[in-house]
A and B are shown apart, each in its own frame.
Chain A
Amino acid sequence: MNNKIYQKTLEMIPPLSLLLLWELFVLIAVLDARFFPAPHVILISLWEQITLGYYWHDVSSSLIRITLGFVIGSVVGVAIGISIGISSLCRALFEPIVAATFPIPKLALMPLIILLFGLDELGKVIVIAIGVLFPVIIQTTAGISNVDQTYKEVAYNYGASRWNYFKTVALPAAAPSIFIGLKLGSGMAILLIVAAEMQGASAGIGYRIWSAYSLFDIPTMFVALSTIALLGYLSYTVIEKLEHRVISWHRSPQKERDASGKNKD
């Protein structure tokens, strides 16, 4: 328990000292206050945005787009990943397409998607979904097709049907890998929100960055950047919590270290 508090404290030190240094450097004019407003200025800007009422509106608009895109992208991604992983027919059909389209920068698809789906919500959600799709497909496929041969043989030796093999062996064995895909995908979603809101949005964190840019309102820009960072951290934490719940059997390296530490005491 003490150990945990100790670790949390340690985690707080780098960002806090960074903020302090920042404040100091602006004060002694090492940093240009026009481009790097002091942290307290940014905080004031945050407070203004909250009291004027558009901060939460920005956050919720972006959050809805991110969540929708992430859910669609990961559901479709897991489905495609599984079918490539278990069926050689699907592998032959889809794997080349995935490999060929994976390296295309998702931003380069923006204009096409706008043309296809328009400037409104649908286009934004789709850009994000496509970004989430690829890491999820790749991690799911890897997880399903790399199941330990012994587990596979045990399942068939004990009379498992194909469906039962999938349900009782392939899927749980692939779960840790799928969760890595989901974490990478959630990062992707947040990465893409700024680009997705560049055009045709009237609210959102990404929109706020572009509008602040055109108004040369740097503190607002920093508020939005910090909010994005916070969202990234939160989504990662949420998925990690879910992961621990779903795969409680999985012994993470972290836990192993804790356990061995306890044995030494």
Chain B
Amino acid sequence: MQVEKIRIEQLRKQFVKKNKMVEAFHSISLQIKDGEFVSIVGPSGCGKTTLLRVIAGLELPTSGTMHIQHHDSNQPLNAMVFQEHSIFPWMTVRENIAYGLTMRKVPPSIKKSIVDHYLLKINMVNFAESYPHQLSGGMKQRVSVARAFANDPEILLMDEPFTALDEQNRLLIQQELLKIWEENQKTVVFITHSIEEAILLSDRIIMMSAHPGTLIAEYEIPFPRPRKIEEIRSSTFYKNMFNEIWMQLKEEVEKSRSMEGMLPI
């Protein structure tokens, strides 16, 4: 458990936008252990998605170093759950979940049993042959999460996967995610706007400052696993934790609002 999985040092990313440099984030140093569930919170536009995309290899950093331990080269290194709708509309639920396996040419019988397993986990056995336009928003996100898990990557990267969901669905999916994750303990980097979600799911929360983002605080979340969402939410420790994180995050959000020319609350 103590093996280091991701090591990031002095990472910076700049974009060129209309001949001007836009800094997405800078001076980020971070270590993530194998099997750790880390959440990143921070005001909108602070560079969370960009950081995740750099870790995923979808974007190159401008400077700094990043080292990711790839234990088993037969296994994919990472799988991303995107912020927006990302499941393929032209594939059935089954084909979507199987996508990574199909690309890796996993034999059909093994593929089928893996997909069946996750269909059961996300409670969508009856929708296996449905197309995305026949699903609700929450179901689509579940498929997207199942697709990532089914590919069995060493690292899962999730960008606000549940933000678009209503409260009840979010609670159910969080519980599902906890269950699936506690089974196979993958390294997870999870972006969220919700402090509550971050506390419920993670081992550690990392906070980023207002744009241009950098790391400003870290919180260890000591709740034992397996976790029960209801129990954690009703404990005083949770409430104190929530307040502590919120007070700090509020400052950053206000900074970011005033930078956009809006009045702080």
Which residues from chain A sit less than 8 Å from chain B, CB to CB? 150-151, 153-161, 164, 168-169, 172-173, 175, 247-251
Instruction: Report if A249-B90 is in contact (Cβ < 8 Å); known contacts: A154-B82, A157-B80, A159-B76.
Output: yes
Q: Which residues of B contact A150 (CB under 8 A)?
A: 82, 84-86
> Is B265 in contact with chain A by the CB < 8 A criterion?
no
Closest to B157 in A: A157
B75-106: which have CB < 8 Å to A?
Answer: 76, 78-80, 82, 84-86, 88-91, 99-100, 102-104
**Neighbouring B residues of A172 by C-beta, 8 Å:** 88, 90-91
Contacts of B131 in A (CB 8 A): 248-249
Query: Which residues of chain A are within 8 angstroms of B79 by Cβ–Cβ distance?
Result: 157-158
Name the distance in Å between A155's Cβ and chain B's nearest Cβ.
Answer: 8
B151 at the interface (CB under 8 A from A): yes
A153 pairs with B82, CB closer than 8 A: yes
Chain B residues with a Cβ under 8 A of chain A: 56, 58, 76, 78-80, 82, 84-86, 88-91, 99-100, 102-104, 131-133, 147, 151
Q: Which of A153, A161, A249 has the most CB of B within 10 A?
A: A249
How many A-B contacts if CB must be within 8 Å? 58
B100 touches A159 (CB 8 A): yes
Given A249-B89, A249-B133, are A160 and B82 neighbors across the interface (CB < 8 Å)?
no
Query: Given that A150-B84, A164-B103, A251-B133 are known contacts, is A157 also in contact with B56, CB under 8 Å in the complex?
Result: yes
Judge whether B84 and A159 touch: CB under 8 Å.
no
* CA A247 to CA B89, docked complex, whole Å: 10
Bound Cα distance A169, B79 (Å): 17
Known: A159-B104, A160-B103, A164-B103. A154 touches B86 (CB 8 A): yes
Contact, CB under 8 Å: A157 / B84:
no
Q: Give CA–CA (A154, B132) in the complex, Å.
A: 16
Dominant secondary structure of chain A at its interface with chain B = helix
Q: Which residue of B lies closest to A248 (CB)?
A: B131
Known A153-B58, A154-B82, A249-B133; judge A159-B103 contact (CB<8 A).
yes
Q: Write 23 A-B pairs (CB below 8 A) sorted by A numbering.
A: A150-B82, A153-B82, A154-B80, A154-B86, A154-B99, A156-B58, A157-B58, A158-B79, A158-B99, A158-B100, A158-B151, A159-B76, A159-B100, A159-B104, A161-B103, A164-B103, A168-B91, A168-B103, A172-B90, A173-B90, A175-B90, A249-B131, A251-B133
Q: Do residues A151 and B103 form an inter-chain contact, with CB atoms below 8 A?
A: no
Across-interface contacts of B80 in A (CB, < 8 A): 153-154, 157
Question: In the bound complex, how far is the Cα of B44 from the Cα of A138, in angstroms?
Answer: 39
| B56: chain A residues within 8 A (beta carbon) | 157
Q: Which residues of B contact A251 (CB under 8 A)?
A: 89, 133
**Is the Cβ of B89 less than 8 Å from the Cβ of A250?**
yes
List, in ascending order, chain A residues with CB within 8 A of B85's CB.
Answer: 150
* A172–B89 alpha-carbon span in the complex (Å): 9
Given contacts A150-B82, A154-B80, A154-B82, list 18 more A-B pairs with CB under 8 A. A151-B88, A153-B58, A153-B80, A154-B99, A155-B103, A157-B56, A158-B100, A158-B103, A158-B147, A158-B151, A159-B100, A160-B103, A168-B88, A168-B91, A169-B88, A250-B89, A250-B90, A251-B89
Chain B nearest Cβ from A100, distance in angstroms: 31
Contacts of B58 in A (CB 8 A): 153, 156-157
A247–B99 alpha-carbon span in the complex (Å): 19
